[in-house]
Chains A and B, each alone.
Chain A
Amino acid sequence: MADADFHVQDNADGSKSIFLTGRWSLRGVDNNFTDLRSQIAPFFSNPFTHWDITGVEQLDSAGAAILWTGWGHAVDKRVSLRPEHAALFEMLAALPAYHSVSASDGNVVVVAVQRMYDGCLGFIEHLVEFTYLLGALVLELLYVLRNPRRIPWKEISANVYKGGVTALPVTALVSFMIGIAMSYLMALQLRKFGADIFIINILGLAGIRELGPILMAIIVAGRSGSAMTAQIGVMRVTEEIDALTTMGISRVLRLVLPKIIGLVFVAPLLAFWTSAWAIAGGMLAANIELGINMEFFIDYLPRVVKPVTLTLALVKGLTFGLLVTLIACHFGLRIKPNTESLSTSTTSSVVSAITTVILVDAIFAVATRSIGL
């Protein structure tokens, strides 16, 4: 079978006849319709050209579409074709016409204002849905307190393990390294003033008040937050959440509440764990760089870091854990059943969680500036 081709014949009256041959079809694998169209295009413009396509071996929708658009969406007398091809062109004729979509209407300012307006509406929508989620959580919590048998212990313990226990190595490693880096930098500065001993104050306060809770929140948002959003999202896509609802099980009770209780329970512990490793890293570096004895370091630490700082770290850890889980579940429940929505929601979940945690941390820093310092 031959590939698609055509030849031109000059008629006696000065017009031209085009004879099509070969397979005008995508099944002819060597056909290149771009070349073919550019070769044949000049002949479309002459309305007196006669077209003979009775000689083609095969004509499919692709070949027909090229000719059809070339002829200006009509088959008239100047075209000779076989009856089976006529049916194909009739089918093409019945299709709706193509309207090119205009790129943009309105000027830049209008579009920008429109975008901002849409963004604000989107933000308000988020807030409303977030409030709904909070309300549902409070109601479920009250329900569970009245019916203690309904407490999903298994799910809670699974979340403690997944969000807490398995996060231990990575949080330890990251905070230990950051502790070392911080301690080295500060040791160099402090030695200039001969204030070596203050490295314990700085490491103790920074490690417990800031580094521990913040590092914990960022790592948990990246590890567990994204996993929670994706899990709830996929459960929505595969209708598992609907299956739960038909069994009369509340999705907030089974999916959201255990995650929140589990993570709120482990977050402060993780924060302490993270602080401890940051201080350990700092202690090691201080020992090497400034020659501060480790026993002295541990002995001196409680004298400069007041117990109230620990309470503050505990409250921070609780708050951050709560925020990260709430945001993860909120975005998870908003996922629509397609892959694009899954990816954007998971990204937004992690980004919003980290941003919110840092914002709240700033508020904490200002509000508690007179406590424990």
Chain B
Amino acid sequence: MNTPVQTPVCQVQGVWTQYGPAVIHRNINLEVWPGEVLALVGGSGSGKTTLLRHIVGLTQPTQGEVRLFGMSLAKLDRDEQRLARNRFGMLFQHGALFSALNVFENIAFPLRELHQFDENTIHLLVMHKLALVELEPEHAWLLPAQLSGGMVKRAALARALALEPELLVLDEPTAGLDPDRSEKFVRLINNLRRQLDLTVIFVTHDLDTLISLADRVAVLADQRIIAACGLHELAASDHPFVQNFFKGISNRLERMN
């Protein structure tokens, strides 16, 4: 494969978000390159999830533009938008599995919507996705309500991966998991990223997740992105928020080295 000029997978250009008098984002610029894992961090209410929702096209910024795969989702017509949306998978914070469908039907749902596969192939693909996220085949017949928190995240990840996306968007992937589970989940995402050649954008509060997953960290504070760089450079930053939020990070990095 030769790709002479790489276009960024995701490009946030001059985004402003305003709800009434409250300004959430003030001129945000961000680029995510193919194969990269970018973490979005920031304090509570700093607009991380809002930015993530702008990126996947659930909401529109007041000003500015978000381009995915070089296209602006809002300017595409219906069919093009659908194709573009099939190129990324989103893992919601609480999984957002369809509660009336079992795990199998949840993962099969995007595949069925393509109308390109027969039952046999769908079964094979669903089982493949379950194996990818390390769930057992018999878990396929459980309803979301019967799953544990970690299993819900895995099943939701399998659904996000169903259409072989290029970009994976994760909202707090390890929130609500115990340290052991969250470590396993991070390892799982790391494996998948290599196997499936994924670009990942994720929001997190968890330092361990951040350290073991992110290539680059974008820090949201004061309605801006105050830094978008590697962890080592970030630890040297003198912004008070970064200082506070990453007080532990230098210690951990030292421990790791």
> How far apart sit A359 and B137, CA to CA, in the bound complex (Å)?
49
Point out the residues of chain A lying under 8 angstroms from B121, CB to CB.
62, 65-66, 69
> How far apart sit A25 and B196, CA to CA, in the bound complex (Å)?
11
CB of B227 closer than 8 Å to a CB of A: no
CB of A108 closer than 8 Å to a CB of B: no
Interface size class of A (residues with CB under 8 A): 20 to 34
CB of B6 closer than 8 Å to a CB of A: no
Q: Is the CB of A57 within 8 A of B164?
A: no
Q: Is the CB of B143 within 8 A of A61?
A: no
Q: Is the CB of B125 within 8 A of A62?
A: yes
30 contacts between A and B (CB under 8 A): A25-B164, A26-B86, A27-B165, A29-B87, A32-B116, A33-B116, A34-B116, A34-B117, A57-B1, A58-B1, A60-B196, A61-B128, A62-B125, A62-B164, A65-B125, A68-B124, A69-B120, A69-B121, A69-B124, A91-B128, A91-B131, A95-B128, A100-B119, A336-B145, A337-B99, A338-B100, A338-B144, A339-B98, A339-B99, A339-B100
Point out the residues of chain B lying under 8 angstroms from A100, CB to CB.
119
CB of A96 closer than 8 Å to a CB of B: yes
CB of B56 closer than 8 Å to a CB of A: no
CB of B65 closer than 8 Å to a CB of A: no
* Residues in A lying within 8 Å of B, measured CB to CB: 1, 25-27, 29, 32-34, 57-58, 60-62, 65-66, 68-69, 91-92, 94-96, 98, 100, 336-341
Q: Known interface pairs A29-B83, A33-B116, A65-B121. Does A96 touch B145 (Cβ–Cβ under 8 Å)? A: no
Q: Is the CB of B99 within 8 A of A340?
A: yes
Q: Closest CB of chain A to B100's CB: distance in Å?
A: 4
7 smallest CB-CB distances across A and B, nearest first, come from: A338-B99, A340-B100, A98-B123, A95-B127, A33-B116, A26-B164, A337-B145
Point out the residues of chain B lying under 8 angstroms from A340, CB to CB.
99-100
Point out the residues of chain B lying under 8 angstroms from A92, CB to CB.
124, 128
Q: Closest CB of chain B to A67's CB: distance in Å?
A: 10
CB of B115 closer than 8 Å to a CB of A: yes
Point out the residues of chain B lying under 8 angstroms from A94, CB to CB.
131
> How far apart sit A341 and B98, CA to CA, in the bound complex (Å)?
12
> How far apart sit A94 and B129, CA to CA, in the bound complex (Å)?
12
Q: Is the CB of A34 within 8 A of B115?
A: yes
Extra inter-chain contacts (18) besides given A34-B117, A65-B117, A69-B124, CB under 8 Å:
A27-B164, A32-B116, A57-B1, A58-B1, A61-B125, A61-B129, A61-B164, A65-B121, A65-B124, A68-B124, A91-B128, A92-B124, A95-B124, A95-B137, A98-B124, A337-B99, A338-B100, A339-B100
Point out the residues of chain A lying under 8 angstroms from B1, CB to CB.
1, 57-58
Residue of B nearest to A96 (CB): B137
Point out the residues of chain B lying under 8 angstroms from A62, CB to CB.
117, 121, 125, 164
Residue of B nearest to A35 (CB): B116
Point out the residues of chain B lying under 8 angstroms from A65, CB to CB.
117, 121, 124-125, 128
Q: Known interface pairs A27-B87, A96-B137. Does A33 touch B128 (Cβ–Cβ under 8 Å)? A: no
Residue of B nearest to A23 (CB): B1
Q: Closest CB of chain B to A240's CB: distance in Å?
A: 16
Q: Closest CB of chain B to A217's CB: distance in Å?
A: 31
- Within residues 137 to 168 of chain B, which ones have a CB less than 8 A from any CB in chain A? 137, 143-145, 163-166
* Residues in B lying within 8 Å of A, measured CB to CB: 1, 83, 86-87, 98-100, 114-117, 119-121, 123-125, 127-129, 131, 137, 143-145, 163-166, 196
Point out the residues of chain A lying under 8 angstroms from B196, CB to CB.
60
> How far apart sit A1 and B166, CA to CA, in the bound complex (Å)?
15
> How far apart sit A341 and B100, CA to CA, in the bound complex (Å)?
8
> How far apart sit A34 and B145, CA to CA, in the bound complex (Å)?
34
Q: Closest CB of chain A to B41's CB: distance in Å?
A: 28
Q: Closest CB of chain B to A94's CB: distance in Å?
A: 7
Point out the residues of chain B lying under 8 angstroms from A96, CB to CB.
127, 137
Q: Closest CB of chain A to B197's CB: distance in Å?
A: 9
Q: Closest CB of chain B to A68's CB: distance in Å?
A: 7
Residue of B nearest to A30 (CB): B83
> How far apart sit A61 and B196, CA to CA, in the bound complex (Å)?
10
- The listed residue (B117, B131, B163) touching A95 by CB distance below 8 A is B131
Point out the residues of chain B lying under 8 angstroms from A33, CB to CB.
114, 116-117
> How far apart sit A61 and B164, CA to CA, in the bound complex (Å)?
8
Residue of B nearest to A33 (CB): B116
Residue of A nearest to B110 (CB): A26
Point out the residues of chain A lying under 8 angstroms from B83, CB to CB.
29
> How far apart sit A96 and B136, CA to CA, in the bound complex (Å)?
10
Residue of B nearest to A1 (CB): B1
Point out the residues of chain B lying under 8 angstroms from A29, CB to CB.
83, 86-87
> How far apart sit A336 and B144, CA to CA, in the bound complex (Å)?
12
Residue of A nearest to B143 (CB): A338
Point out the residues of chain B lying under 8 angstroms from A26, CB to CB.
86, 114, 163-164
Instruction: Determine which residue in A26, A57, A338 has the highest number of CB atoms from chain B within 10 A of its CB, and name it.
Output: A26
Residue of B nearest to A26 (CB): B164
> How far apart sit A94 and B120, CA to CA, in the bound complex (Å)?
15
> How far apart sit A318 and B213, CA to CA, in the bound complex (Å)?
63
> How far apart sit A69 and B124, CA to CA, in the bound complex (Å)?
9
Point out the residues of chain A lying under 8 angstroms from B98, CB to CB.
339
> How far apart sit A94 and B124, CA to CA, in the bound complex (Å)?
10
> How far apart sit A34 and B86, CA to CA, in the bound complex (Å)?
17
Q: Closest CB of chain A to B128's CB: distance in Å?
A: 5
Q: Closest CB of chain A to B76's CB: distance in Å?
A: 12
> How far apart sit A36 and B1, CA to CA, in the bound complex (Å)?
22
Instruction: Determine which residue in B99, B114, B115 has the highest number of CB atoms from chain A within 10 A of its CB, and name it.
Output: B99
Residue of B nearest to A57 (CB): B1
> How far apart sit A73 and B165, CA to CA, in the bound complex (Å)?
25
> How far apart sit A338 and B124, CA to CA, in the bound complex (Å)?
27
Q: Closest CB of chain B to A244's CB: distance in Å?
A: 20
